[in-house]
Amino acid sequence: MKIKLLIISFVTLSLTACAQKDNSIKESAKSYSYETIVSDLQTPWGMAFLPDGSMLITEKSGKLIHFKDGEKQLINDVPEVYNRGQGGLMDVVLDPNYQKNGWIYISYSSSEGEGNGGNTAIMRAKLIDNQLTEKELLYKATPNTSKGEHFGSRIAFDNNGYLYFSAGERGERDINPQDITRDNGKIYRINTDGTIPSDNPFVNEPNAKKAIYSFGHRNPQGMILHPNTGEIWVHEHGPKGGDEINIIKKSANYGWPVVTHGLNYSGTSITSETSRPDMEDPIYYWIPSIAPSGMVYVTSDKYPYLKDNLLIGSLKFQYLELDILEGEKVIKRERLLEGIGRVRDVRQGPDGFIYVAVEGLGIVKLIASETKI
């Protein structure tokens, strides 16, 4: 294993409003090191920790890796993925009762069903002798499209055992996110066997997609269960500016593309509105966009400075962002591991350490130091 010491200047942003455009640097710094745990990965998208301390890692290309005793083993019978653009093999999580039932849940882009291209799918399976068995497709968004953007897709469980997952709007911003009769641009809630909870908000709406829990989303690639409040928190990519952190509420509309703090990539306006009374405001938004991916709420005592705050990966700026919280407000931002590469995921392991998935590098473990410079 390789150990690399990084001297990281933290960028501290004093926030007097929901977001600031000023990225001024304070005259303070800390040092952190990271230890490379799994090397030579191309696009590690998600990771999950098994009870024996080994790790499951998804590669966007379609490989599911079992990392155990220092060796990478490929898992067989992984579902075929529609590997295009942002699509591929994405998140992997264990059932909250994994030790009793053995279920593993995976999100991926699938070409199953009618039409060319693919769309977001959720499946579950069991792992026996490095092979997926008892595979079940739980949800498949439709229609297929050959567009390569905005598949989502993260998975999280709430305290009642419901499974939540995200599906981006697949580049169809004016069609999908505001229409509950269509998939995409949504957060979904299902039972662990793929059936629909009877109290989902749109189960009695004619023609609605019954699995929808909230709508008006663009491309959520971070999702967690807040350990203290029991709420589902997500972050999602905005266009040019306007990445957001949202707290998910039943039947709520999160506004895309009717309201946004972002612009078209050309710099032209999408809308003049940033808020509406019938739409949920984000608890935080980024200008400029950081292209967030992966998110964890730190509870570990191994990182006293990070504890009770968020860590979020930045694909665009290639660092790990610390968002310091005061209740539901982000009051300060700091950069960790600047220049490490495109951070795709971040998780807290059962050993209390923070693990970060970095494109072109692999999985690294964050090691804190109190060294001052």
Dist. CA 221–CA 107, nearest whole Å: 11
Which domains, from first to last, does the chain contain? 1-39+294-373 (no CATH), 46-289 (2.120.10.30)
Among 66, 150, 226, 261, the one annotated catalytic: 150
**Nearest 5 degrees, angle CA 227-CA 345-CA 210?**
65
Alpha carbons within 13 A on the beta-carbon side of 64: 25
Q: Is the dihedral of CA 166, 171, 172, 178 positive or negative?
A: positive
Angle, alpha carbons 114-115-116 (nearest 5°): 135
Instruction: Reply yes or no: is the peptide bond before residue 288 cis, omega within 30 of 0.
Output: yes
98-113 tens-digit pLDDT: 999 999 999 999 999 9
Query: How are the residues of the chain apportioned to helix, strand and coil, as percentages rounded to the nearest 5?
Result: 0, 45, 55
Whether this prediction's pTM lies above 0.85 is answered by yes
Q: What is the pLDDT of residues 322-337, one digit of tens each?
A: 999 999 999 999 999 9
Active site residue 150: yes
Going residue by residue through the chain (373 aa), what tens digit of pLDDT does each one get? 444 444 333 334 434 334 433 333 232 236 778 999 999 999 999 999 999 999 999 999 999 999 999 999 999 999 999 999 999 999 999 999 999 999 999 999 999 998 999 999 999 999 999 999 999 999 999 999 999 999 999 999 999 999 999 999 999 999 999 999 999 999 999 999 999 999 999 999 999 999 999 999 999 999 999 999 999 999 999 999 999 999 999 999 999 999 999 999 999 999 999 999 999 999 999 999 999 999 999 999 999 999 999 999 999 999 999 999 999 999 999 999 999 999 999 999 999 999 999 999 999 999 987 533 3
Query: What pLDDT is stored for residue 30 in this prediction?
Result: 61
Q: How distant, in Å, are the alpha carbons of 37, 186, 308 from that of 358? A: 11, 26, 23
